[in-house]
Every structure is written in C-alpha cells, then in structure tokens.
Structure 1
C-alpha cells in the first residue's frame, strides 16, 4: 500500500551473518522482520533500514542498544500463530527495559493462574489471548483444539492458551518470561532455562546462550551452549561461574558449558536446539569442592554420589538446598547409608544434619556409642536354634536306641512320652529366652484357640442379629393389628434401654470372670490366656461404652473395669484394654481417642504393661501411651504424641510429638475449677435424656420407611411399595442429610470459639453435637470423599472455598472449619476438636489456606492455621499454633519444615484444580454410585433378612426364628462380603502402581469400590480381628497375607499392592497406605511387610516401603516412602528413629 518492493530471496541468498546484511544493504531493504538471534550474527550496520521488527525469541537490552538507532523504528512484537499474526507491540528504546508491550487493536491479553482466574497486577501467570483474530483451531486435530482453545465458567469468550509465562507491570506493559514448557525439573526443583540464558548473556563476550536439560543415562544435568561476540577472545569460565553462583541457587548452575563457533539454526533463524552437540566440558572446577577427609565422610559421600548420580560432591553441600534432595530421596539415602556405613540412622537426622561433614560427624558419634554397648553373645535366632539342636539330638538318640524298630511295643509309648515332655520343656525354655530378648516366635493357632474363637463369633452374630428379630416380632404385631406404630417406638426404646445396659454389664462381668486382674507380662499369641483376653476385648468392643466419653460416668466405668482413677478426671477415650494396669491421679484430663491400651501384639506374644498417670496431668487427643510408662504429677503430653515403652515424663514436664520431646503444651486454663456431685449427676441425666431424644429423632426416617412398607402390605400393594422405596433411595438419603442438619441446628447451630466451663449447658450442647458429627462420619461414610460432601458441610456451617476435596475426617465441627479454594483433606485427618483441662474446655476455629493439602491421619490442633499452598504430610502436625508460612511443607510429629519435596506434576489443571462441566457430570454419576451401592446393598439384604425371619416366625414360631437369626445374619454377611469382592474384581481388577490425576475415571471408580469396602465389608469383617480367620476376606479381595498373622485393622486400599508375610502382627488402627493424593494426583505403589514383622497400633506404613523379616515398627509411627527397615531392627516415631 506504500509502494515498496518485496525482496524475495532465492536459494543462493545468504541466510545469516554479515553476508545477509550485505545482501539486504545492496537490495535497499528498509523493513526487516526477524528473530533477535539473527541480529547477533551481524556485525555490520544497516543504515538504510528504517523499521526493524523482532519476534519469536526474547529481545535483550543489548539488541535494542545496538539496533534501535535514531531514525529507525524498532518493534518487539509478540504473536502466536493461533492468534493469526502479531498480538502485542512494544517500541524499543535504548536504556529502557524491554517488554512485549501492549495489545494491538482487536486483541486482549489476559494473565491467568492455573484455574483461569485473573492474577493481581505484577503477578506471574500464563498468557491467554482473546479477540477477533483468534483462529478456530487446529485442522483435523480436535484433541489439540480442546486443550488450547478454552472458555471460562459463565463466560462465552474464547481464549487461546499460549503456554507462555508473563505478567503486567505497573506501566500496563506485558513482561515476557518464556515458555511454561521451557521449565525443566532438576534435582527436584523447577528451573526456568531462560533465566539462566539471560544471566549468561550478561557475561563479557557472550552473545547468545542456550541452556538445555541433558539426559545422560540415569543422570540429568544442565548444559549451557554459548556463542561469542568475538571468537578470538577466550571466555573466562571462572568469571562465568562466579557470576552465576552470585545470582542463582546451586542447583541452577549448569554442569556443562560449551562454547560453539556458531549456533545451529533452523530456516527461520531460530536456534535448532535438537542439533546442539553432546556436552562434555564441565563448568564447575571440582578442585574447589571440599572433599571427604575421614572414612565416615567418604561413606556418606559415596551414598550421595550413588543417590544423585554425580561424580563429585562436596562435604559442605546441602542435601536439600544445593543438591535438590527431597523426602523420598532422604528415605532412600537412609536405607542406602545403612548398607554402606553399617549404621542405623533415622530419616529425621538427614534434616537435622543436611551436609556430609555434619552428618558424618553425627554418625561417628552414634557408631562410637553403639560400640560401647554390651553385645549379646549370640546373634538373633541363635537361641531358637538351640532348641532345634536339642530336638535333633533327641531324634538321633531315639534312632540309636532303636525306637520304632523295637519289638517291645509297650516300651515305645513310654519312651516317646518322656521324650515329648523333655522337648516341650526345652522349647518353652528357649521361647522364654527369646521373649525376654524381644525376639519373635512363630506361633500357629491351636485347634482350641480357633474353635473357641469361631464359637464366640457365632455368639456375637447372634447378639448382633437379635435386634432384627425383635423388629420382626413388632412388625408381625403391627400387621396383626395387635400394636400401633407409637407402641412399637416405645417398645423399641424400652428394648434399647434394656439391651445396652445388659451388654455393658456382660462386658464387665466377662472381664472379671475370664481374666480377673490383669498383670504385666507376656503371653504366647493364640494361647489360652490370649484367647480369654480376646474374648473380653471383643465383648468390650460391643458394649458401646464410648457414649460415656467426656462425661463423669467414664471414670465410673474405668473403676468398674479395674482401673484406678482419681477424682475430677475428664476422660475422653474408650481406647483402654488392660484396665488393672492403668492408674490415673486426680484432676487429670485425657483427650479424644487417645490409646491407653496397655498391650501390644509383637513378636508372637501378647505383651502387657503398666500405665501410670499422675495427678493434674494433661494428655491430648489421638495420642498413644506405650507399655510400662509413667507421667508424674503435672506432666503434659500434647495431641497426637507418643510416650513410648518404659519412658517417663517428669513432674511438670511438657512433651509433644512422636517420639515425645520437650516442648510447651498449652491448656485452656492453669487453675482448676471444681464441680459438685449434684452438677455432675444432673449433667449425666440431661446428657442421656437428650441423647435418647436425639436417637429417637434419628430413627424417624427408617421408621417412616418401615411404616410405608407395612401399609403397603396391609393394603395389598407391598410390591409397589418396595419398588417405590427403591426408586426413592436417593431422595431418602438427601432427606436424611437434611434431617441430620436440622437436628444439629436444634442442638447447637453454631459453636463459637472460646473457653467454657465443663458440665455446663453449653458443654452439654457441644457434647451432643460433637457426638452427632462422629456418628455422621460412620453412618453417612459413603458421602465422604464425594462431590456431594462439601455442599452438605456448608449447610452444616463449614466455610469452604471452591473446589475443596474432603475425604473421611474425624473429630470435627463443621462451623469451626474454614478452608480456602482448592484445599484438600485426605482420609483420616483430624480437624480441631476440643481441649479439656482444669474443669474447662476450649474450642477454636481451624483455617486452611487455598490449595493446601492436609495429609492422611494428620492433625490440626484446635486453632491451628495453615497458610496458602502448604502441605501437611501424613501423620503430621503443624509446628506451633502460629500460622504456617505460605508455600511451606511440613512433615512429622511435631512437624518440621521440608526444604524440598518431590512434587507430581505434568497434568493439565483441568484434571486437578479446574475440571470441566463434563468431568463434573461424569464424577457426579460415579460418586452417586459410591453412595447408592452401600445403600441399596443394605436395603436388599435388610429386607431379605426381615422377610426370611418373618417367614420363620409365622411358620415355626418365635424360638425357631430366634435360633435361626444368627445363621441368617451370617449368611447375609457372607453374601455382602462376596458382593464387595466381586465388585472389586469386576470394576478394578488387579491393582497395580499408577499415577493418576484427581479428575479421572480410575480415581472415581477406585473410590467407589473403596466406599463399598469401607461401608459394607470392613464393618462385618472387623468381628474377625485377632482371630486366625481375619486374613481370609483380605486374601479374597487381593491382599497377599501370610500364614497365622495377627490382624486387628482393615484400614487398607489398593489391596493387591499389599503383601504381609507369615506370622506378622498388624495391631489396632494400623494404616497400610498404598496411595497418596499430594498435588491432587493419586500415586500408588507396593508395600511389603516381611515374616514375623510387627506394626504397632496407629502406625502408618506408606507405599514404596519394605519391612524385612522380624522388623518392628512402634505405635504412632510413620514408615516413609522409600524406607527399608532392616531385618531384626526396631523403630518408632514419625519419622522413625532407631529403638
């Protein structure tokens, strides 16, 4: 339009350098559009050039200084092909920072975060383009079009996702920071390669710099290639290295540095990265590194070299900050170091001593201390071998004496009898020696133990099924017109009031009749004493004593079972077993679900020990006290803390964590407030009166269903009634949720943070509401982890941001939870609760920031605040009640900050944080199935059971029906287990290690199957805990379970990934965690527990771990990813330390 001529080069035209510059000058070229690196190849000036446009690569200030001369307009433009041509433009001026300017007319540029939300001005984000120039998409590639051309919710505008990182500065101009996919991961850190290139071009005589990630075998390294302005001048490598080290962290300093005569280029003039040569020249002068001086430093250095696949490491380099180590590498390093250095080291020490020099010095101290300890004269297993040798001797004697060949048949039994008696004595002697030394004994359940436990299970099923038989009797009376519905409700309440105290009394009587008084000691697994203990413990589990938690009646129950309890104690736990070995002083407070078990199954024995708690002691929620432990007067143990075996907390001492270490423990009040017996009595009366009313309120929905069915039967349309009930199940579930919400509002609409008197009206309301929420966590379990849970929790009072994910949670009050957008709460996390001490209780709001992750079994003490983009790891707690800094990661009890962690990346944000409407719809269906499958299964089996018993009652009478209830219940139980097993194999098949984003079918289907397992199979199989039969259903569903294992937990998932060896012990509350959801990505893998291993109560074993034979993991302990526990070793703590 301006009359200028278009200069079209031919095949012989120069493509770069001064030859191209001369060609353009000779042809009178006045307008030139090119890439910045093309200009660096030209040394001569172009005086005829009036307009110069650069794009396609970052334009550096030195380009502007040289080419933006007076009389020449130089533009730096930006524009992806998908937006037709250029989108933004910037007039380059020497001395002014170079940007890509502002959008040209017809275009709008947006800077969004990962969820396509606008970021604040000055914040980096991804660059999106909208406007009339946006193309329709990629030809015949709808898959690519869907990923690149997007819409925002409630916004019809079409956006092109550029994949570039940018921000808008204070002048409204757009600063460009390179491609998002130009970021690489090195040693666990995300690195922007263009940042390295920019710093290199600031060095003397470097014209162009290109940095790449070089993958050489198993080792990744950064390699930088440079082109010099003046090839005749050598580059000062030491100056380059010093300049980079001054502005970059160590992991961003390139390993290789190559000087090229000329960069390989594409036809467009851009650098051809694929044609860069193989790097071989190191940038770092390793002679500058401080090398190992001692034998131990060399062993640690050798471990690090193997781990990081590096030829050289310095003793002053930081494992995390310099080399990019993270928690998984730390666990692997510990395992490797145990082999190389032969020293038992906990993972926690890697964080405490992150440099070779420091760690080697610490290890040398450990080795010296270990060498000073007295050693056993025989290695592990030698004592049991002695017994085997004795057996061999007697067998040889028997053979030499001719037993078995003797013609005197009468002599043989007598000799065999004497031999068996002697061998039995020898075996018992050597077993006792192994028990004393803590060494395992492999015990096979005797016929006596298996028979007694099998008969007991039948009795338990009978006890559990009798309520259904009573319902059948009442239903029959209603159908016959002998009883009204109101009469049924009254009778059921009377029956419940009579049945529960009866079972409670039975559990107390059984303890005294079968055990008498518990005493410290060790008893063989599956032996007579063990069977009696198991029977008493099982009856105790059915007694429902947990309703006493937090009331004055819990102290009474403790005393009735044999415990010594002082006055004015607040006891919030029913997790007690060895009552007579428990002693609690006056004014002591024990938190919710804290385990005072007094026993552990370990090394083939039931070990029993004392727990002695003094006066005015405080123990927080979800803590564990081991065997033979003592807390002196005024001692405190915080939430989720472990007081391990044979340990003592001194008078007035405060401890926290696992293992418990010195740390201040705050309580609601330091003084003590007393309450009269009258006030306590009135509290108990009102608590159970209102509790009964709440129970009646809760059973109204199922009674309405029963009434509807009875009416249908009476009116002759029972089949229609059943069909209506089946069709209305989703509505009934919704109605139940609203019904519970109404009951919660009646009891306590919104708990307010503060400190209140114990046994007050407010405490009564809180106590009822808190127990209701715990009931919700059990009865409405299938709703948890689904997209239907957040709306319900909001209705209950929780303040939840967008895209929150909540799995199963314990000890929470909805209105005391505030969670930001994109937050994630994993299974079993504990949110808040109450702290009780000195006659008062305290409740506070818990706040979790946006995009933060609360790990499995992690605890947020009441009032804890987690910042944005934070992670609280598995079985961890925040370090203090102060808010955690944004972007920080924490692990352990108590939590310590992780300098670096392994992150799972590479998935589109639409599959993690910003799902499409289509994905929402698909998940809504599968999550709905997770809820409906247990509901329909329970309904079908329940109606089948009632119909069967009703037929037996009408045909054969009450006593035949009552006798058959146990068999009917067992039959229905077997059917329910087989159904879940079939569902697992049909839907998921065999579980294998995977890495899957949150928003995908695999994750949802897995949760659906897991929901059926948790709600249907797990409750009915828990009655098998502690018996030889506990492993059978686990094997059916895919777990590899060895012979004669003691199993008292079914907190498993991804069953095929679990392997448990022969004679292993899995204690109460153990979690075998085969997957994690950090970064909203599900990662699963194998875990293995070897023969004769023991895992303590409430311990967590993560995937990618292995416990070698006869290894012992203590209670409330965490076996981290990558850890391998050596054979015959004992560890405890979170993370573990050597015992």
Structure 2
C-alpha cells in the first residue's frame, strides 16, 4: 500500500488490433529485414573479402603466414570500424530519432513512435563504450556526445562508472560536481497499460549516487545528496538537500561523517590538479591497454574463423560446431588469464584509500576486464569452476544462477550455497573520494535471493538466507540459519516471512547508515 500514485501518464487508445499489428510487424521486420541483411552480409563477407574467398576455393592450401596476415588485417578493419562507426552513429542518429518522439506528450504503445523510442534506448545503451570510457575523465565527453546535459563539469576522474543506462540520453540532466557509481538507470519514460510519455530526468548538483539506483522522472532530491546503494528515490514530499538517503522506502541519514574527510586535501587546489592529471594519464594507458586486449581477442577469433573456413569443405558443419565451442572456451580462458595477470596471480587486499591513490587506479583497470561471457554459464556446474579460476574461494556444489562478484579474490563462498539470478557480492565501496574494500564471507548452505546485494566486510553464517531484492550493508554479521531481508536488511522472523522491503523494521543507527556502502 502506498500514498504515492506511480501511474503518472494518461491512458491512450491502444486496442487489440494495434497490439496484433505491432507484433506482426516485428516478425515481418525480423524475417524480411534482419535475416536477409544477416545472410547478405555473410554472402558479401564470403565473396568480397579476399581473405575468406580464397579459402573457399576448392583445394585451397594457403601458407600459415598468409593466414596470420589476413586475420591481422581483417580483425583490425572490423574492430576499428566498429569503434569509429559506432561512436559516429551514437553521436548523430539518436538526435534525429529524438525529433520523432517529443517530450511531455502522451503516445499510445505499440506504434511507430514507441518503436523509435525503444530503438533509441537499445542503440545508446551499447555497453562497450560505457565500459571503455567509464571510471575516467573521458566518460563525460562520451555522455555529452550521446546527449547528456552535464552542466558545468567539475572533473574528479571518476564522475561516472562503467554501467550507466537510460531510455533517452537527450533527456538526462546531471548537475555540476555529481559523482555516479555503477548501475545507475535513468528512467526517462512513464508507462501505463496503453501509453507512454518521455520527459526530462534531472539529478541535482554535488550529489553522490551509489550502485543499482533507478532514478525516476520527478525524483525529489536536490543538491548535495548522498543516495546509497539500491535506495528508493522518493517521488513525494519536500525536495531533499544536504542529506543522505538510504533504504526502500528511503529515510534520511547524514550526508557524510567526519572519518570520511581524511582525503579532503584532494578535493580542490593544486593537490587535486596534480592528482587528477596523473590519474588521467594512467586511465588513458588503461583504456589503450584494454582496447589492445579486446582487439587481440578479436584477432584470435578471426584467426580461428579463417582456419575454420579453410577446413569447411572437409568436415562441414562439424567444423562450425567445433568453432563455436572453441570460441566460448578460448574467450573464457583468455579473460581469466588476463585478470589473473593483472593481479599478478595474487589476491586483492582490503584497502582504505583515496581515489587518487595508484592502488585504486589499478583496481579500476581490473574492473575493465570483460566478464559478460560468464552469463552463458549461469545455472550450470561450470559457473563455479570459472569463478574458481578467477580467484574466488568457492566451495563444492554451489548453484549459481547469475550472481555477480566485482572483487573476485575478496569473496569467500562456502559449500552448498545458492546464488540466485541478479544477486551481487560487492567487496568494495566508494563514497565521494574515498575507496574501501574488505573480504565478504558466505558460510556453507547460504542462499542469496534474486537481486539481493551483499556488501563488503559481511559475514553470513552457515545456512543463512537473504531475501530477494535485499541490501545487506557493510560489516553485517548474519547468524547461522537466520533469515534476513529488506533494504537495509534486518532479521526477519520465520513466522512473519515477509518479502524484502515490506513490513516494519528498525533502521540502522545514524552513524552506521551514514557510512553505508554507496558504490
């Protein structure tokens, strides 16, 4: 039950015929546009690219040196073409599409404007570019390029993380001096069962936003706010300024505490300028290095693909199936080895430092190692094996249906644990200019509910359970066989068995809440 009306857009005419036509048009688009373009693209690749065409000729036997040279050229063209053409399209095409869907007007679902709106969201949320520019000074130029209004930027070198999402980048305003951690979703559209409307979403100046926050249109926060991890942004009441918000539903906490001011010397003056310049140079090297290793991965796959084409006439479809399996295995081993090399095959150590400390920059570089390939292992016994290869201390018979661990070597998972889809074990926190990390331990037989979030320095006893969509704050110790839930998570009596985020709870103490992890 809530006093806030979350249905804020008027209905529109959207009958069964309109829904049926939209579904049929989507199918026709797939079969008459996308599939022919895909097949035609393969045909052009096989016939127009000499490196491929020569290998399809009967009795073609080309030397190894030519195979490597062809793969080198082809991979460079594909990779550089994707980066350059992708950035060009992202900075131009959404601006044209935005003219079709003007803001603050109600449109029916399942029509042309609705399709354009969805296309804009898909196009501008390509994860590669946010991954490349995030956690550096250069992400603000990328976001401005795709349409964000960032006011006057007060550069920190970590203004935005690598995971920022939106529905329409041209309707996002972020105030000066605001820092955003990973997992921000900017909600630019309101929906009903029959209609939608896009509007501008504005985040105030000098805010700090933690992980996994959905910021809606009309959020009632102003300047100088701290929004903690998974906080529910209020839509009613006075505009909050100069405070922190924690929980779902949210309650106020202090904006900061005295012990977090130890690195204030880096906030302004010559010290900030020197540290920022040094961090920028380090981040540039990180970006160049990560582009190189991504291209090297493309080169390896291209080399394998050309070799597969050369063998296609011998074993046919068996070769293609083998290629697909080898692609998955080699990609996994490649990025596992890359991550372990970056850590020098050592475990991370708990840290408390400034974001201008070189140790933190090395951590940011480590976060840039791609890990999306792990999703294919979700729900299989292989996921635990891959985690073990990446340095997670993980037990036997662990079922992982889609958990994400940011600092792999700081996580300890016991035997027989169940990690549900969308759960997260995050062994670090960043609040403004301070970075903190520590070990988090899940005992044997623990269960993490869907979309639950475990923070750093946490210990869960054997058999403990965390309810879905809960946020277990830093330093919490959950007793064995206990059931915790809510945001922030507290003990839940078995008799009540309330879902996460409901029922009465006692908020944590002010000092504890003020230092709640927000990254």
The two structures have a TM-score, normalised by structure 2, of 0.80
Match of 1:905 in 2: 261
2:3 matched to 1:663? yes
CA deviation digits over 1:841-899, x for unaligned, max 9?
Answer: 23332222233111101121223254222111001122225674332111111221103
* Distance in 1, Cα, partners of 2:98 & 2:326: 42
Q: Which residue of 1 aligns with 2:515?
A: none
Q: 2:234: which partner in 1?
A: 879
Match of 1:976 among 324, 331, 347: 331
Q: Which runs of 5 or more structure 2 residues have no equivalent in the other structure?
A: 55-61, 493-519
Q: Does 1:936 align with 2:289?
A: no
**Shift of residue 1122, structure 1, vs aligned partner:** 1.8
Residue aligning to 2:414:
1061
Q: CA deviation at 1:1113?
A: 0.4
Hey, what's the Cα distance between the residues in 2 that align with 1:1085 and 1:979? 27
- Asked if 1:870 corresponds to 2:225, the answer is yes
How far residue 755 of structure 1 moved from its aligned partner, in angstroms, is 4.3
Matching residue within 23, 28, 51 for 1:684: 23
Which of 448, 461, 464 is matched with 1:1111 structurally?
A: 464
Q: 1 or 2 for the larger relative contact order (CA 8 Å, sep ≥6)? A: 2
Residues in 2 aligned to 1:970 and 1:921: alpha-carbon distance in whole angstroms = 39
Alignment of 1:635-1034 (within 5 A): 655=1, 662-669=2-9, 672-687=11-26, 706=45, 710-711=49-50, 722-725=71-74, 729-730=79-80, 732-749=82-99, 752-759=102-109, 760-774=111-125, 776-777=126-127, 781-800=131-150, 801-802=152-153, 803=155, 804-864=159-219, 866-881=221-236, 884-899=239-254, 901-902=256-257, 904-907=260-263, 908-909=266-267, 915-937=275-297, 939-954=298-313, 956=314, 960-988=315-343, 989-1014=346-371, 1018-1019=372-373, 1021-1034=374-387
CA contact (8 A) 1:1090 1:1109 kept: yes
Q: Alpha-carbon deviations, 1:213-268, whole Å to 9, x = none? A: xxxxxxxxxxxxxxxxxxxxxxxxxxxxxxxxxxxxxxxxxxxxxxxxxxxxxxxx
Measured in 2, the distance between the counterparts of 1:703 and 1:790 equals: 37
Match of 2:445 in 1: 1092
Residue 462 of structure 2 aligns to a residue in which SS? coil
Give CA deviations for 1:1056-1095 in whole Å, capped at 9, x if unaligned.
Answer: 1100111111100001111122113321111111111111
Shift of 1:913: 8.3
CA contact (8 A) 1:833 1:843 kept: yes
Structure 1 segments unaligned to the other structure (5+ residues): 1-654, 656-661
Judging changes above 3 Å, is the alpha-carbon distance between structure 1 residues 698 and 793 closer, same or farther for their aligned structure 2 residues?
A: farther
SS at match of 1:1030: helix
Taking the aligned partners of 1:834 and 1:1030, their CA distance within structure 2 comes to 36
**C-alpha distance after superposition, 1:307-332 (max 9, x if no partner):** xxxxxxxxxxxxxxxxxxxxxxxxxx
Query: Is the 1:1110–1:1127 Cα contact (8 Å) retained in structure 2?
Result: yes
SS at match of 2:260: coil
How big is the shift at 1:664?
A: 1.8
After superposition, residues 48-87 of structure 1 pair within 5 angstroms as: none
Tell me, what secondary structure is at the counterpart of 2:245? Answer: strand
Q: Secondary structure at the match of 2:280?
A: helix
Q: Give the distance between the partners of 2:421 and 2:128, measured in 1 at CA.
A: 18
Q: Distance in 1 between matches of 2:88 and 2:245?
A: 37
Alignment of 1:1138 onto 2:491: yes
CA contact (8 A) 2:220 2:235 kept: no
User: Partners of 2:228 and 2:316 in 1: how far apart?
Assistant: 52
Residues 883 and 826 of structure 1: CA distance in aligned 2, closer, same or farther (over 3 Å): farther
> Structure 2: how far apart are the matches of 1:805 and 1:1042?
35
How many residues align? The count is 467
Q: In the superposition, relative to structure 1, how do residues 886 and 1069 fare at CA in structure 2: closer, same or farther (>3 Å)? A: same
Q: 1:1108 and 1:771 mapped to 2: Cα distance?
A: 41
Q: CA deviation at 1:722?
A: 4.3
CA contact (8 A) 2:350 2:436 kept: yes
CA distance in 2, matches of 1:951, 1:919: 46
Distance 1:1043 1:909, change over 3 A: same
Instruction: Measure the CA separation in 2 of the matches of 1:1072 and 1:1063.
Output: 17
CA contact (8 A) 2:164 2:184 kept: yes
Distance 1:781 1:961 in 2: 37
How far 1:1115 sits from its partner (Å)? Answer: 0.3
Aligned-residue offset at 1:806: 3.7
- What corresponds to 1:1129 in structure 2? 482
Q: Retained in 2: the 8 A contact 1:912–1:997?
A: no
Structure-2 residue corresponding to 1:1043: 396
TM-aligned CA distance change 1:713 to 1:704, over 3 Å:
closer
Q: What secondary structure sits across from 1:934 in the alignment?
A: helix
**Separation in structure 1 between the aligned mates of residue 457 and residue 37 of structure 2, nearest angstrom:** 44
RMSD: 3.3
In the TM superposition, what whole-angstrom CA distance separates every residue of 1:76-122 from its partner, at most 9, and x where no partner exists?
xxxxxxxxxxxxxxxxxxxxxxxxxxxxxxxxxxxxxxxxxxxxxxx
Q: Using the alignment, how far apart are the partners of 2:13 and 2:138 within structure 1?
A: 44
1:827–1:689 CA distance, 2 compared to 1 (3 A): farther
Other structure's SS at 2:196 match: strand
